[in-house]
Chains A and B, each alone.
Chain A
Amino acid sequence: MIALFFRDLKLSVRAGGGAMIGVLFFMTVVSVIPFGVGPDLNLLARIGAAILWIGALLASLLGLDRLFQGEREDGSLDLMLMHETPLVLTVFVKCAAHWAATGLPLVVASPFLGLFMNMDELAIGATMLTLLAGTPAITFIGAVGAAVAVALPRGGLLVSILVLPLAIPVLIFGVSAVYAAIEDPAPFLPPFMILMAITLFFAVIGPVAAAAALRHSAD
């Protein structure tokens, strides 16, 4: 399983792997917002957390369709299905590797992009923390979509459409936790705890559902 984790990490940083694509897309989305909204620093600071979260959500959706499709195309998926290790565990490890390669760079990049949005230190810290807690949930939800669409040749957009509604709660609680941290009366912990609960919930449900979908995709 450790071998699988490191192989997937290696694959995502090699040519065509797509680990950097997500970060570049994230940077693009966030850095065009000030041009569209205009140079109103207060407005940018106010919407900054939401923009960062939306950017991170879209960027994490970007590479999800390849999660199982590459394995299927070259036949590796067959061997994983045959192996005595429960498929759920294999899927979980693949999700973890995918998050480490595409989700973690988004978290790391978010403080720099926060500066573009004129956010203060507290807001940047809170955004980073909520992204760290929330982006794994997007990967786990996305794994289900990726597994359902694995047999479709152009499943990319379908995965995003399938996944986006389920990822909305992650976005809502992520952004509300950031606002709770910077605006005084609202408490930070309740929305943050719910965000973590969502992540833990999908860390269990996601791999189970994805494994079931992969079992039935075999032809």
Chain B
Amino acid sequence: MRLLVESLSARRGEDLIFHDISFVLATGEALVVTGPNGSGKSTLLRVLAGLLQAESGRVSLKDGPSGVEHPRELSHYLGHRNAMKRELTVAENLSFWRRFLGNSPGGSGIDLAAAAAAVGLAGIIHLPFGYLSAGQQRRMAMAKLLVAYRPIWILDEPTAALDAGADRLFAGLVAGHLERGGMVIAATHQSLGIGQAKTLQMTGFAH
């Protein structure tokens, strides 16, 4: 399976945020998007996730499972916000997303306790999500990537609010996902600790 991005450009309001971005990502490959604040990293990821309309160009899948119209259906998107409800317990949150998202063809998610253990927070999934610290909340949002299988992970600043240990742990998760034939597209300031990642440097436009 390959993700093709062809001469993509996006606009927010009147301003062109980026212009003519193309890349190809095959299974087992990662793309790290870097660049200064406001250079359009998040916008690019939201276009890839199908949340924003591209001004021109297109995003498509080659050799993907049949019946998939847009790569977003095979993607996890972890944005700045964690998409977890503070009032519900971590277990309720995770099991909701597990059931709501379901698995993409070609894999299956791991169970809740194993996912919590994978992010180093085993044993606290009975707590309400709002009780956790910011770093723990972020880690639990990553556990969401594991409970339902999606081949493509689109991650926007995944390691914000995380300590160095969690950075390493997260690099391990990403490496594991790539090994199993996944794809990762991440916007980040820090290095993700992924060895053979492609990089895309966003420069933005001078105003």
Contacts and interface: CB of A to CB of B under 8 A. Distances in A.
Interface residues of B, number: 29
Contacts of A15: 87
A84 interface: yes
B51 interface: yes
B172 interface: no
Given A17-B87, A82-B49, A7 B82 contact: no
Nearest to B68: A84
Q: Is the interface of B mostly helix, strand, loop or mixed?
A: loop
B59 to A, nearest CB: 13
Nearest to A75: B81
Interface in B63-80: 68-69, 72-73, 75, 77, 79-80
B81 A81 contact: no
Interface in B5-61: 12, 46, 49-52
Interface in A66-112: 70, 73-76, 78-79, 81-84
B185 to A, nearest CB: 14
Q: Is the interface of A mostly helix, strand, loop or mixed?
A: helix
21 contacts: A3-B99, A7-B88, A7-B92, A7-B100, A10-B92, A11-B85, A11-B88, A16-B87, A70-B85, A73-B81, A74-B82, A74-B85, A75-B79, A75-B80, A76-B83, A76-B85, A79-B83, A82-B50, A82-B75, A83-B73, A84-B69
Interface residues of A, number: 24
Contacts of A219: 12, 52
Interface of B: 12, 46, 49-52, 68-69, 72-73, 75, 77, 79-88, 92, 95-97, 99-101
Interface string A205-219: 000000000000011
A81 B69 CA distance: 14
Contacts of B83: 74-76, 78-79
Contact of B73 (A10, A14, A84): A84
Question: In this complex, which of B68, B72, B80, B100 has the most chain A Cβ atoms within 10 angstroms of its Cβ?
Answer: B100
A79 to B, nearest CB: 5
A204 interface: no
B77 A82 contact: yes
A166 interface: no
Nearest to A83: B101
Contact of A10 (B82, B86, B88): B88
Contacts of B52: 218-219
Contact of A14 (B68, B88, B99): B88
Question: In this complex, which of B69, B79, B86 has the most chain A Cβ atoms within 10 angstroms of its Cβ?
Answer: B86
